[in-house]
Amino acid sequence: MNATNPFDCKYNPQFAELLTKLNISLAISTYQTGKVIFISPHSNDKIIQLPRTFPNAMGMAVNEENLAVATKSELVVLKNCSNLAKIYPNKKNTYDSLYMPRATYHTGYLALHDMDFIDNSIVAVNTLFSCLSYINQNQSFTPFWQPPFISSLLPDDKCHLNGMAVENNEIKYLTALGSTDLKQGWRENKTTGGILMEYPSGKIILSGLSMPHSPRIYDGKLYLLNSAQGELIEVNPKTGSSEIVVNIGGFARGMSKIGNYLFIGVSKLRHNSDVFSDLPIAKTSYAGVVAVHLPSKTIVSKLEYIMSVDEIYDVKILQNKTRPNILNSDSELLKAAITFDDKYFWGQLKSSKEAQMKQNLDLARNIKIQTLKNVSYEQIKEKYNNFICKDFLNLIEKSEKNINQNLLIAFYNKIPVAMIVFHGSKISKSIFLNSIFVIPSYRNKGIATFLMNQLQPIIKQNEVSHIRAVFSENNSDRYIVERLLSKYKNINLIFED
């Protein structure tokens, strides 16, 4: 059985080939997972990803060698240090660029959406306060424009101002999900109240849009994403008319262009929402990135996430970079990186043992446990097939399909990474430990031990006197299971043919 790993995705070979052809990598922000992910070509038919933690990552801005990322309560500015990239510890001559944090602005929560570098300033759409703002060291933000219908700047997200089109260092157009002056007033007509505004007049030139995002000017033409309809549309700002360029098939948000190609982010709809259930993309939405060939108005390649990513906000292109790296503010490596003038050094790094201890501590702090009781075999196989060992599957297939199970699931930063399956018998006061599984990329980090420790209070609370764990003799993880369970004297571990 092939285990599913965090950020696993599927894509056609043309996706990697296109990145290679264009000599680019992509940077995407996914606020739900709290990551900025670099997607690069590994070969003509394969990609490689580098996810880095940036809490609630949303709007991003890119210029020649800088990347700005809006997080939950900060705005982080990173600088490409290509010389340090070449001598990256343990991976020399691997990376062609290295984005490292150089300044952090403590903004507080502002829900910053679209951003850009304009005349050496960082301009951000301040969604919470319904305005455009500069971000600098002086205060949380400096407002300089608000829509005419917004009477006062309050943290009320009145119109969900979100998108900003910039051309030649000048703001031209803006999108919002409504035109109200009431606290979260845009929600009342969520899927039909969207607007496109001219800047700086604030004149509404197109209304009735369905949650519009990412207005952009390319080759003198104005495009935007009619997100909840899954459409890329072209707008004539003089007449207020629009036409659909291509249907994306999911909630479209985040867009960048290079050559004849647009790279557009796609997010899953919240399928259990009554608001979205009647939309055309309700049954087809997914999370990923599509490449649109603009002259032919067709989707030529697509990347779709299988796991971890549900919502993408922004997509940026890193030109002339096919193997970039990125560090976040918590990285131990960042503390060892030194640059000045034309000089660059990697200073003394912490020992690998010390770094591993810090990583394990970070895991322990961020792991959350979910307990599910009386889960049927069908539900386990449908929802958690990639988190159970083959022994358990074989056991159930043979004789125990009718026995409901209990699950302990470990989540790291909201991503499921491990699971224990067990069931109990009140009559014999026994627990049968049926499956212990940690996805490969999270093994040897103490997660299985952490899960087992969560099982102990359940054992004590139910006055369990006997615990039986049965695994097959040819289990490839036999040594790992044996070593793990040997710590617990109350567990009778049996290996069978």
Please tell me whether residues 379 and 340 are part of one structural domain: no
Please tell me whether residues 216 and 268 are part of one structural domain: yes
Low-confidence ranges of the chain (pLDDT < 70): 1-4, 270-278, 349-365, 395-401, 428, 470-480, 489-497
Written as six digits, the tokens of 82 are 């290509």
Nearest in space to 14 (alpha carbons), one of 302, 396, 218, 386: 302
Q: Is 289 left (phi over 0), alpha (psi -120 to 50) or beta?
A: beta
pLDDT tens sequence across 402-434: 788 889 998 887 888 888 888 887 776 778 888
Please tell me whether residues 470 and 392 are part of one structural domain: yes
pLDDT tens sequence across 393-406: 776 666 666 788 88
Please tell me whether residues 487 and 378 are part of one structural domain: yes
Please tell me whether residues 48 and 92 are part of one structural domain: yes
What is the count of structural domains for the chain? 2
3-state secondary structure of 348: coil
CA–CA distance, 232 with 127 (Å, rounded to integer): 22
pLDDT at 1: 35
Range of the domain at 126: 9-346
Find tokens 């060992």 and name the residue.
389
Please tell me whether residues 193 and 86 are part of one structural domain: yes
- CATH number of the domain at 370, please: 3.40.630.30
pLDDT at 199: 97
Cis (ω within 30 of 0) for the bond into 101? no
Nearest in space to 418 (alpha carbons), one of 391, 450, 390: 450
- CATH number of the domain at 84, please: 2.120.10.30
Please tell me whether residues 241 and 197 are part of one structural domain: yes
In a domain? residue 4: no
Written as six digits, the tokens of 244 are 């659909």
Please tell me whether residues 285 and 367 are part of one structural domain: no
In a domain? residue 267: yes
CA–CA distance, 144 with 335 (Å, rounded to integer): 36
pLDDT at 330: 87
CA–CA distance, 230 with 266 (Å, rounded to integer): 8
Chain Cα centroid distance, residue 68: 16
In a domain? residue 2: no
pLDDT at 285: 86
pLDDT tens sequence across 139-150: 999 999 999 999
